[in-house]
Copies of this chain bind each other. A is one copy, B any other.
Amino acid sequence: MAGSSYGTVFKITTWGESHGKALGVVIDGCPAGLALEEAHIQRYLDRRKPGASAAATTRREDDAVEILSGVFEGRTTGTPISLIVRNTSQISKDYSEIAACYRPGHADYTFDQKYGFRDYRGGGRSSGRETVGRVAAGAIACRILEQLGVNVCAYTRSIGPVEADLSRFDKAAILSTPTAMPDRLADEAAMKYLEETKKAADSVGGCMECIVDGLPAGIGDPVFEKLDANLAKAVMSIGAVKAVEIGDGCPVSSRRGSENNDGFCVRDGRILKSSNHAGGILGGISDGDRIVIRAHVKPTPSIYLTQHTVNTAGEETDINIKGRHDPVIVPRAVVVMECMTALTVLDAMMINMSARMDSLLDFYRK
């Protein structure tokens, strides 16, 4: 079970390696009747493309998406939507060192241990390019959520020591700054820090955050399929993520209950929480408030400093990684987090439709 499917009702299956012929995704369970065109998906894919800035690699990838099935006369048919992105810019180069050595921080060693060998070209299936399929599918989930009044938005919270100041939250900056920060001042400071990092032939980690607005209360299930549990899995499944927080996250472990509990109140006839330490989820079920998730991302493991490692013959050796690598993963991973969150939330909403007898009766006896 290679684990390339995600979701229960809105289910996606991704495929493809960094330097194979193509990458893609099959979306099974997309509702029929959704207006869909390639340009919408392309906008999401373009957000994970490397830019011209210091925050991203200079490798050029066109990543043009093609819809192969499941859309007829501009609308989804309810049958599987197959999306493909051809690999066009993979330059044939010398992979002999990666083939023979285990790069620190990469999955080379663990793939070899699991499968007996690996596609060593650019990391194969363990490459960040694997997320092309996730983002293409997530773009569709986002469009459906929008029509349901649910908005998902991810951004860079910090890069190394530089943190965005959310009191200056500027949504437009997320798409227009090279760091995907919602704060232009922090973006400038982070870009400077990245320049230094590159000069030091090193890399750095960062933190990304995703918020979901407009989600009705009652979404998610008790026990194992808690909405926060599924979001944790969704976000931790993104390569390089090492921690996930919901709402206030880690700091709650040193708080008192009287500080951390969110009281309920009534505003304009609606029941609301008077604070949101919980991040919009109580007992695994959405409470109608903003969902808040954070992911901590490790530094890009490919650095230009000489590193000590072991080769496939089991001998210690030094390795010098070549090629072009982002000094930080976060700015391009933000859209992946947004998409994984959207896929998770939409699936939970679709599953939720049969939670009550009155829903079934309304649906079938009308």
Are the C-beta atoms of B125 and A222 separated by less than 8 Å? Answer: yes
Chain B residues, CB < 8 A from A31: 354-357, 359-360
With a cutoff of 8 Å between Cβ atoms, the chain B residues found around residue A235 in the complex are 232
In the complex where A82-B15, A105-B282, A115-B355 touch, is A260 in contact with B299 (Cβ < 8 A)? yes
Whether A232 contacts B244 in the complex (CB less than 8 A), given A117-B75, A356-B115, comes out as yes
Q: Are A3 and B28 in contact (CB under 8 A)?
A: yes
Least distance between A183 CB and chain B CB atoms (Å): 17
Q: Does A69 contact B (CB under 8 A)?
A: yes
Number of residues on chain A facing chain B (CB within 8 A): 169
**A205 touches which of B26, B72, B126, B252 (Cβ 8 Å):** B252
Q: How far is the CB of A155 from chain B (nearest CB, A)?
A: 14
Of all chain B residues, the one with the shortest Cβ separation from A203 is B257
Q: Is the CB of B355 within 8 A of A205?
A: no
**Which residues of chain B are near A23, meaning CB under 8 Å?**
69
Of A42-50, A53-61, A166-174, A262-270, the segment with at least 4 beta carbons within 8 Å of chain B is A262-270
Let me know if A246 is at the binding interface, CB within 8 A: yes
Does the CB pair A78–B314 fall under 8 Å?
no
Bound-state CA distance A296–B248 (Å) is 10
Please give, as numbers and ranges, the residues of chain B lying within 8 Å of A297 by CB-CB distance: 252-253
| Alpha-carbon distance A233/B249, docked complex (angstroms) | 15
Of residues 226 through 267 on chain A, the ones whose CB sits less than 8 Å from some CB of chain B are 226, 228-237, 239, 242-266
Q: Taking the complex as formed, is A189 at the interface, i.e. its CB lies under 8 A from any CB of chain B?
A: no
The A interface, classified by DSSP as helix, strand, loop or mixed, is: mixed
> Is the CB–CB distance between B125 and A223 below 8 Å?
yes
- Decide yes or no whether A51 CB sits under 8 A from chain B: no
A13–B16 touching, CB < 8 Å = no
Write the A1-23 contact mask toward B (1 if CB under 8 angstroms, else 0).
11111101111011111001111
Q: Decide if B1 touches A11 in the complex (CB within 8 Å).
A: yes
Q: Does A303 contact B (CB under 8 A)?
A: yes
**Residues B2 and A117 in contact, CB atoms below 8 Å apart:** no
A252 touches B299 (CB 8 A): yes
Within 8 A of B (CB), among A93-150: 102, 104-107, 109-111, 113-119, 124-126, 130, 144, 147-149
When distances are taken between beta carbons in the complex, the residues of chain B under 8 Å from A300 are 257
Most B CB within 10 A of own CB, among A11, A264, A365: A264
List 16 additional contacts besides A31-B355, A31-B357, A125-B222; criterion CB under 8 Å: A13-B80, A15-B80, A20-B68, A33-B116, A77-B119, A79-B124, A105-B260, A106-B282, A109-B271, A110-B281, A113-B216, A204-B256, A205-B254, A242-B252, A243-B245, A243-B249
